[in-house]
Amino acid sequence: MKHFILTACMVFILGISAWAQPGADGEKIEQLRIAFITEELDLSSEEAQQFWPIFNEFTNKKKEGHKQVRKTNKEISKKENPTEADLRHFVNVRADQMRTEADLEVQFMEDVLAILGPERTFQLIEAERKFKREVMQHIQDKRRGGSPGGRPNR
């Protein structure tokens, strides 16, 4: 159970960092993600027609949940001295969002499994993990000065 919660938190943090990018950057990341997944899965046109609407709906629902958590967090952060009730409300909103996201993940996996089968559904999971790792590596490289290995560009 601890592993699941830790994983869910990591996914949430990665998702927030990707979607919290201002306008064009967030769209660019999403376009790169779609291209990466398409290439990794080598989807046929029929599979793509079935897969992408499900994927997009899943992604949009996750974004809405994250948006609600950010909104609640922002409201509480604006308060100079949030009450215990305020903090409890935030924790409840976050817990509800995590439950909803877990349910969405399960439904998404079941829907994708029906379209792609077990082997390619596993490839999707691995592609998502690989993409997130590459995005995080890119962000870390950028923070270290823009070049791989942490050396500043000169």
Q: Give the tens place of pLDDT for each residue, 130-149.
A: 999 999 998 899 888 865 55
**Is position 77 within any domain?**
yes
CA dihedral 26, 128, 12, 112 (to 10 degrees): 110
Q: Give the tens place of pLDDT for each residue, 43-75.
A: 888 999 999 999 999 999 999 988 988 888 888
Count Cβ atoms below 10 Å from residue 101 Cβ, excluding itself: 20
Q: Which structural domain, as residue segments, surrounds residue 33? A: 25-40+56-145
Mark residue 82 as left, alpha or beta (left: phi above 0; alpha: psi -120 to 50; beta: remaining).
beta
**Is position 97 within any domain?**
yes
Long-range contacts: 60-65, Cβ < 8 Å, 24+?
Answer: 61/100, 61/104, 62/15, 62/101, 62/104, 63/19, 65/97, 65/100, 65/101
**Is position 151 within any domain?**
no
For residues 68 and 95, the answer to whether their CB atoms sit within 8 Å is: no
Q: What is the CA radius of gyration of the chain?
A: 18
**Is position 71 within any domain?**
yes
Angstrom distance (rounded) from CA 116 to CA 119: 8
Check pLDDT > 70 for residue 19.
no
Q: What is the pTM of this model?
A: 0.68
The structural domain count of the chain equals 1
**Is position 16 within any domain?**
no
**Is position 8 within any domain?**
no
Q: Which residue has the tokens 């306008």?
A: 23
**Is position 137 within any domain?**
yes
Residues 6+ apart with CB under 8 A from 126: 40
**Is position 13 within any domain?**
no
